[in-house]
């Protein structure tokens, strides 16, 4: 099968804003007197803001109204955006800009599949928005990863079938979503966590066009 598109997660694949998510969630957890550390933060990777909040609140075993939870989510996002305010092109992860350039040169479609509701803002700050033929973020979906909705919607907007697209993901839930959706999955990170992916690379610096050939079975 010929690969016609590459679909990228945002956090941890194009840019590392995970550190800002962690700082914002920890700030909220501290305010609620809920213990929260980097190990706990691993559970939040690749999932929506609402689901992330529910995971944290379960740790605290305290019930809150929907209105209170909405206020918490908004507060967390304000803090996150404050931390992100300094992002620029220097924050693009190694090898990504060069790979996007090569995909454009070889007429491979480029999509974004991210749970983040701030994806457009971040892509604009990175000056990468023009590379993307389809951008599907948390504002366009109702189901969080590992549900494949975000990637299926991106494939639909790109007008390709899932088996004609590669998904690049750094989160276990994201890899699971890609596989459930019928995509070729390339994991970025720890093979012990992302072992279900077709290929796992320890760094974005290792991404190159040979991966397209591998996915096509050449």
* Catalytic residue annotation: 9, 11
Token pair listed for 126: 């990175």
Which H or E run contains 188?
strand 184-188
Strands 165-169 vs 5-8: parallel, antiparallel or unpaired: parallel
Is 115 within 8 Å of 135 (Cβ atoms)? no
- What is the phi/psi pair of residue 55, to 5°? -60, -45
Token pair listed for 97: 């800009």
Token pair listed for 201: 């690379």
Structural Rg of the chain based on CA atoms: 17
> Cα–Cα distance between 193 and 190 in angstroms, integer?
5
Rounded-to-10 torsion of CA 62, 176, 91, 87: -40
Task: Please name the residues in contact with 44: beta carbons below 8 A apart, sequence gap of 6 or more.
Answer: 21, 25, 52, 55, 56
């Amino acid at each position: 099968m010929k690969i016609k598109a590459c679909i990228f997660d945002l956090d941890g694949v194009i840019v590392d804003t995970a550190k800002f998510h962690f700082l914002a969630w920890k700030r909220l957890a501290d305010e609620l007197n809920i213990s929260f550390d980097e190990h706990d933060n691993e559970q939040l990777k690749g999932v929506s803001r609402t689901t992330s909040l529910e995971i944290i609140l379960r740790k605290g075993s305290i019930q809150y109204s929907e209105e209170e939870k909405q206020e918490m989510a908004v507060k967390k996002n304000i803090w996150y955006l404050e931390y992100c305010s300094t992002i620029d092109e220097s924050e693009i992860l190694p090898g990504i800009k060069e790979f996007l350039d090569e995909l454009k040169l070889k007429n491979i479609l480029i999509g974004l599949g991210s749970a983040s509701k701030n994806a457009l803002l971040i892509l604009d700050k990175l000056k990468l928005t023009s590379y993307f033929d389809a951008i599907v973020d948390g504002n366009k979906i109702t189901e969080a990863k590992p549900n494949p909705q975000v990637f299926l919607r991106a494939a639909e907007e790109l007008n390709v079938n899932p088996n004609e697209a590669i998904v690049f993901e750094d989160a276990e839930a994201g890899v699971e979503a890609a596989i459930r959706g019928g995509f070729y999955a390339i994991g970025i990170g720890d093979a012990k966590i992302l072992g279900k992916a077709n290929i796992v690379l320890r760094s974005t610096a290792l991404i190159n066009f040979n991966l397209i050939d591998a996915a096509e079975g050449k």
